[in-house]
Amino acid sequence: MSDQSEIHIRKEGRAGRITLDRPKALNALTYEMALAIERALDEWRDDDAVDLVIIDAVGDKAFCAGGDIQKLYDTGKAGDFTYGRTFWADEYRLNAKIAEYPKPYVALMQGFVMGGGVGISCHGSHRIVCESTQIAMPECGIGLVPDVGGSLLLARAPGRLGEYLGCTGSRMGADDAIYAGFADSYVPHEKWPALIGTLIETGDVAAISPQSEAPPQGTMKARASEVDTHFGGETLGDIINSLRADDSDFAVATLKTMTRNAPLSMACTVEMIHRLQGPTADIRRALGLEYRFTWRAMEQGDFIEGIRAAIVDKDRNPRWKHDLATLPAIAVSQMLLPLGKNALTFEEEVSS
């Protein structure tokens, strides 16, 4: 059972309502919260009284700044990889349900929306951002890859923007998020209460469009040609070489950011995005590919070291398994090999 103080799930008018309420923790998503959201979606799927789902969060700073990774770290450090693998499998099943949900799923995203927060919002049918929104997939900084289906969103971003966002973890304001395909509509925050009221009353997403405005101008469109020039390579090595050969402000700043991130994670991110570019890729294929990496992330990857450096010891000095110059291609292949009997199935484990 989820802690009722951390997430509020109820029906109001024509809407199923989900509100994250851990503002001091930037609404980081716990395992229990993810399971509670899934249960609600299952219940509402065939409930004729629910026309749409609204997910929002308490506080100004964040819709959801990511997954609650302390327990992942503690169990993995102790050599227990089962908890993390089960957590990711269950979380990814939820992400797929949101992407495939038969009713409108309206996400209102203020402040930070990162990692696990992207997974419970950016696959929805109606994704609303405001003046404070900052969306990012910063997983390469902690030895993971953009997951929760984020790899698919990155693969569908215009030009080479996905590779850039995935490798750098750059933050997107409202305009950039809409441009990159992570959001749909800009509605100023002060209009949200009235919009939610109308959605609850009518159960009709047609209420969103009249409240939408043009967002303040972002930066990604202006950078598009530089991004496409440098991030069009086949591998991470190609991208690094291209950036190193350019002394522009963009190239220097981008290279500086990337040298802090885990080389194995960035290389796998590039490979995953390339595999998912094309008409046959869908949410399940993306999540299955991500799971190959996350299943191995503690035992073979840099995840535990990444969390240690960023969150536990906070020394910001991770000792990655590989450096950019010597990362072997085989390491990327090994992280993304099919998992055989351990492959992600999207089935619920029935506990006896």
Which residues does the annotation mark as catalytic? 67, 116, 139, 147
Q: Which SS3 state, helix, strand or coil, does residue 135 take?
A: strand
Please report which helix (H) or strand (E) contains residue 129, including its range.
strand 126-129
**Residues with Cβ within 8 Å of residue 165, at least 6 apart in sequence:** 136, 137, 146, 154, 157, 172, 180
**Residues with Cβ within 8 Å of residue 247, at least 6 apart in sequence:** none
**Residues with Cβ within 8 Å of residue 39, at least 6 apart in sequence:** none
Q: How far, in Å, CA of 299 to CA of 276, rounded?
A: 25
Is residue 131 within 8 A of residue 192, CB to CB? The reply is no
Position 16: which residue type? G
**Residues with Cβ within 8 Å of residue 250, at least 6 apart in sequence:** 223, 226
Nearest CA to 91 out of 169, 32, 25 is that of 32
Nearest CA to 121 out of 182, 43, 194 is that of 182
Q: How far, in Å, CA of 299 to CA of 79, rounded?
A: 8
Q: How far, in Å, CA of 336 to CA of 320, rounded?
A: 18
